[in-house]
Chains A and B, each alone.
Chain A
Amino acid sequence: MTTSPTLNFDTDWSYAPAPETAAVDIADHYGLFIDGHFVDAKSGATFDTINPATEKELATVAEAADADVDAAVNAARSAYEKTWSKLPAADRGKYLFRIARLLQERAREFAVIESMDGGKPIRESRDVDVPLAAAHFFYYAGWADKLGYAFPGKDTPRPLGVCGQVIPWNFPLLMAAWKLAPALACGNTVVLKPAETTPLTALKLAELIRDAELPAGVVNILPGAGATGSAIVNHPGVDKVAFTGSTAVGKAIARSLASTDKKFTLELGGKAANLVFADAAIDQAVEGIVNGIFFNQGHVCCAGSRLLVEESIHDELIAKLQDRMQTLIVGDPLDKNTDIGAINSKPQLEKIEHYLKLGSDEGAEKWQPDSSLPDQGYFCKPTLFLHCAQSSSVVRDEIFGPVLAVQTFRTFDEAMTKANNTPYGLSGGVWTDKGAKVFKATAKVRAGVVWANTFNKFDPSSPFGGYKESGVGREGGLHGLKEYCALN
């Protein structure tokens, strides 16, 4: 059943380009940020960071190894003992307010660099990533001198010491903010590693932190790949580990910390079910499904990558969804018309393409819109897999791309059983116009974040994190503070 004539936006309806024109300053080379200074790696090693939309190099970046990690942890330890933990709590807060303000002042620059380095549409980095990053610093800044109110029945908590933080490439600046702001507010110092494909905004943030005159060594930023992350996590001078990334790496970190008493928080993978009941507002649900899986090219741990739709509305919903997908513009991340930008890296594109083939091989029906892709760069069409079996790899595995697996259900209980039939438990979505059903369904989904009649909303005051194999601990909000404190 089709609800409207087939749409073809590739004719007279095509949009004129609307590129973001803000000039940005990207240096040819970036060093490691240790003890308040940019320095090269002791080994001299560097790597290139490229623009995934053009495959052109943006800058070379120093790559940290064990000796650099050692220096950074020592700087963080010294800053922790000599300055940061001695500072009046209100002053810690004021430094964080400064960072938030400077980030707001330079928001456009950060947005453009984020889109260039990571491939995400400028509309998203401008309207979501950068404002939310600034809001995170603003939110936790205010907590710094109010920690005595955070934990009923307990005294003002103590900081943990030096935090080792490893962040992913899907929200490079925002994840840095999620990690740094609560750690610093609670009085810890930090060694942070951005992802190897997206180091630039973290390094620009280091410049900004220096401009904010934060005491040297309080924040240290070490670009690098897995080996650098491992060196930070396993450094004996690190008291607390925070990691966002894949479940496989998260488990490896949990194992490697088994013989230590380091605290850790893990934000890992997901395979969220987006449940659409027959009594949902269908057009609204279609928008939510699109936002759930195609936001940020599907490079979202909490993406709504499984669509569970009540059987009676399946055909109507899918027809409307396909019509909507025909209108999605895949292209230049810096174009303000773009809905879906570049896939973050070549290996990630290859992984997604592997699943596109696997889904078909395993019997699901692949559907893609007619839209065209740019000739250059790493791009992928938004994709549906229809009539998926529960055992299909595109239903089981986190693909981390714009790929939606569709299944149906007949009863409420079947919907919940299918939704929870996964080792993940990061997020979920529920679409229904019945208020009582919203609360019943959101309570039954075994996941840390559940969106009712919306999807992929974030806020610094809203705790985020997973059940089961999607992670340990929470980030954001009051509950995010506990991960960076020791309670007496």
Chain B
Amino acid sequence: MTPDTDTIVDTATDTSASPRLAVAKTYKLYIGGKFPRTESGRYYKLFTGGADSGEVLANVCLGSRKDFRNAVVAARAAQPGWASAPAFLKSQILYRVAEMLEGRSSQFAAELVSMGLEPDAARQEVTAAIDRLVYFAGWADKYQQVFSAVNPVASSHFNFSVLEPTGVVAIVAPETSPLAGLVSVLAPAILGGNTVVVLASHRNPLSAITLAEVLHTSDVPAGVVNLITGDKPELLPHAASHMDVNAVVYADDDPKPLVALREAAAENLKRIAVRKNTDWVSASAADPYAILDTQEVKTTWHPIGT
């Protein structure tokens, strides 16, 4: 069922010369560094080529409110440690993710094709995702220098403003750019010390889960990235109203849920960043100002003198 296994025939060991029976992958959630099934036991069928019926590509977890809440607990627990990791280390880890993705690029491309992308588009998605990660890896130890300030106050104080992560961020991933789009919203949030819960693309969820495998083997600490597949209209209200979520990055093309999202988010003044109508493969989606969407400015006053 999974794209890169069903065509592989190992004739050296297969004495009968009949095709080897493929081993299908079970796609699960990614929470706190583990790959659990949804606690709800629910799933939805994904059909090969993005079709509405036909050959079943995967039974994808239909994540629940409880899954989301578990993911927020994991994200909150991981946040202080990740925030205090050196910028250089965050930079190296993001670069490591790019390296691992490069090594598995043909798997990602095949997986995208299995979900219905054209081969060219699939390859572009993968290379853009890799390059985007390298781009943002380089920002991890530079954005602070570019966007901070030493403020020339009139009184005798040393006064400076730096950026600190907003905290736990829910990311509503782009629906149609399941890898490059996801990486373009994920990287700026985590490189700034936030931990995230991603609501993956409903139509194209497999790349997100496979990306989680890459993150898991690239020294991204457990809980920094958590990933839920499922029904966005069901999950989004839970993300919007969860009182321990500090920000929502909304990168779905559908603007309709925004009003309800903003209304619910007002209850604890979550920061809302909307990334819309973006060509996620193009370089225009690589903007360091996206880092600022999930950063807070802290100003510190320190007296000068005795």
Contact = CB atoms under 8 A, between A and B. Distances in A.
Interface residues of B, number: 35
Contact of A448 (B146, B268, B299): B299
A442 B164 CA distance: 12
Interface string A98-109: 000000000000
B297 A468 contact: no
Contacts of A467: 166, 296, 298
B262 A479 contact: no
Interface string A447-488: 111111110010101111101110110100111000000010
A462 B299 contact: yes
A11 interface: no
B151 A477 contact: yes
Contacts of B151: 459, 461-463, 477-478
Nearest to A281: B306
Given A255-B266, A258-B259, A448 B298 contact: yes
B12 interface: no
B45 to A, nearest CB: 35
A464 B268 contact: no
A452 B159 CA distance: 10
A487 B261 CA distance: 24
B219 to A, nearest CB: 24
A453 B296 contact: no
Interface in A213-258: 247, 250-252, 254-255, 257-258
B10 interface: no
Interface bin, chain A: 35 or more
A423 B268 contact: yes
Nearest to B287: A153
A198 B179 CA distance: 55
Interface in B257-276: 258-263, 265-269, 271
Contacts of B299: 448-450, 462-464, 477
Contact of A251 (B146, B269, B301, B302): B269
A61 interface: no
A42 to B, nearest CB: 32
Interface in B271-299: 271, 288-289, 296-299
A465 B297 CA distance: 8
Given A442-B300, A472-B269, A479-B297, 14 more contacts: A135-B154, A258-B261, A258-B266, A259-B262, A438-B302, A449-B301, A450-B300, A452-B303, A454-B303, A457-B155, A457-B301, A461-B152, A461-B159, A477-B299
A453 B155 contact: no
Question: Which of B146, B151, B300 gathers most chain A CB within 10 Å?
Answer: B300
20 contacts: A135-B154, A152-B146, A254-B262, A255-B263, A258-B266, A438-B302, A442-B300, A448-B297, A449-B298, A449-B300, A452-B303, A454-B303, A462-B159, A462-B299, A463-B161, A467-B296, A468-B269, A477-B149, A478-B151, A478-B161
Contacts of B296: 448, 467
A153 B246 CA distance: 28
Contacts of B157: 454, 457
A452 B300 contact: yes
Nearest to A429: B301
A463 B297 contact: yes
B297 A474 contact: yes
Interface in A397-450: 423, 438, 442-443, 447-450
Nearest to A284: B303
Contacts of B298: 447-450, 467
A435 B152 CA distance: 21
A69 B239 CA distance: 36
Nearest to A449: B299
Contacts of B263: 255, 258
A266 interface: yes
Given A452-B301, A463-B297, A477 B161 contact: yes
Interface of B: 146, 149, 151-155, 157, 159, 161, 164, 166, 246, 258-263, 265-269, 271, 288-289, 296-303
A479 B154 CA distance: 18
B29 to A, nearest CB: 28
A457 B152 CA distance: 13
A448 B269 CA distance: 15
Contact of A468 (B246, B266, B267): B246
Nearest to B162: A443
B23 to A, nearest CB: 47
A463 B259 CA distance: 30
B235 to A, nearest CB: 19
B213 to A, nearest CB: 33
Contact of B301 (A259, A450, A479): A450
Nearest to A254: B266
B197 to A, nearest CB: 18
B289 to A, nearest CB: 7
B259 A479 contact: no
A40 B225 CA distance: 58
A479 B268 contact: no
Nearest to A458: B153
Contacts of B258: 258
A471 B161 CA distance: 17
Given A258-B263, A457-B155, A462 B301 contact: yes
Contacts of A477: 149, 151, 161, 299
Given A251-B267, A454-B157, A258 B262 contact: yes
A467 B302 CA distance: 20
User: Top 3 nearest A-B pairs by Cβ distance?
Assistant: A258-B262, A254-B266, A459-B153
Contacts of B261: 258
A472 B247 CA distance: 11
B250 to A, nearest CB: 13
Contacts of B267: 251
A460 to B, nearest CB: 8
Contacts of A478: 149, 151, 161
Contacts of B159: 459, 461-462
Given A259-B259, A479-B161, A487 B301 contact: no
Nearest to B261: A258
B155 A469 contact: no
Contacts of B149: 463, 477-479
A462 B161 contact: yes
Contacts of B164: 443
A477 B262 CA distance: 28
Contacts of B259: 258-259
B74 to A, nearest CB: 20
Contacts of B300: 442, 449-452
Interface string A315-341: 000000000000000000000000000
Contacts of A259: 259, 262
Contacts of B146: 152
